[in-house]
Amino acid sequence: MKLNYTATISLLALGLAAAHAEEKPISVPGLAPAAKAPAAPVAPAFTEAQIVEEFGWFVGKRVGLTELEFTPAEVAAFVKGVSTAAAGKDTPFELEKIGPLMDEFMQKKQAAFTAKAKTKSLAAATAFFAKLKENKNVVELPSGLRYEIVKPGEGAFPKASDTVKVHYVGTLIDGTEFDSSVKRGEPAEFPLEGVIPGWTEGLQKINKGGKLKLYVPPHIAYGDDGKGGIPPGSTLIFEVDLLEIKAPGAAAPAPAAPAPAAPGGK
């Protein structure tokens, strides 16, 4: 388990505290510095027990105990294993023998979570698309993709073999935002053939300078797998501004910084 993020935040906080401690008051000639009143001791915001409890919560969330739906007995067994490890004791069982069974157990838990999440997502998508039929501006394609032109562009439309530069915001059908080039403050650039099918097909429906909304069902998005904040079986909504189209072989300027990951990448 990687805790680099937490460690970085802690080091940053220590660095800021050290920098603040080194700050000196401005010296004005002829003016004696005012006497400082003794600082009152500050009570700690949290006890050590609370800090350790929070660390336990953090580990549990990273492991995915909620998604795996451990029973109270399984949670107790998990805590017992953590206690054994914290005491510096050896594994209570032969890892070579129990390891494959542990993998099988966790795979079953993961499969159950995926199936449940998929059923929930598909039920929500069915209701969502039924409601979407009321919007006469939405066009449904044979693939199941729906799109809506928010602002027409001008000129040629991109082809699947082209590279496009876009600004976009991606949300789930409940409004949860999972990705945004707008928030990153930098447009995304990628070949249309290198992203999910819903993007490859949908971006060919708008021309340069235009904006559209894509309603992408799971079978042309990430399917049952999900990805980084996207649950299995999710329908995705994207608002996309098409900024630029580059034909195959067009020289692209070297980026000043690493380019963001392509939205909806395969």
pLDDT at 4 exceeding the cut of 70: no
The pLDDT of residue 24 is 45
Query: Known catalytic residues?
Result: 168, 178-179, 196, 222, 238
pLDDT at 265 exceeding the cut of 90: no
Least confident range of 1-5, 28-32, 80-84, 86-90? 1-5
Q: Alpha-carbon dihedral of residues 226, 227, 230, 231, nearest 10 degrees?
A: 30
pLDDT at 28 exceeding the cut of 80: no
The pLDDT of residue 20 is 41
User: What is the pLDDT averaged over residues 229-254?
Assistant: 83
Tell me which amino acid residue 207 is: N
Tokens of residue 114, six digits: 């995926």
Tokens of residue 186, six digits: 């930098």
Distance separating alpha carbons of residues 102 and 67, to the nearest angstrom: 17
Query: Hey, what domains does the chain have and what are their CATH numbers?
Result: 141-246 (3.10.50.40)
pTM exceeds 0.75, yes or no: no
pLDDT exceeding 90 applies to what percent of the chain?
Answer: 55
Tokens of residue 5, six digits: 């993020």
Cβ burial of 235 (10 Å; 0-12, 13-18, 19+) is buried
Q: Residues 106-118: pLDDT tens digits?
A: 999 988 988 888 8
Tokens of residue 200, six digits: 């490859």
User: What is the pLDDT averaged over residues 41-63?
Assistant: 87
The pLDDT of residue 14 is 37
User: What is the pLDDT averaged over residues 136-164?
Assistant: 95
Q: Which is higher by pLDDT, 219 or 28?
A: 219
In DSSP notation, 146-215 reads: EEEEEE---SPPP-TTSEEEEEEEEEETTS-EEEEHHHHTS-EEEEGGGB-HHHHHHGGGS-TT-EEEEE
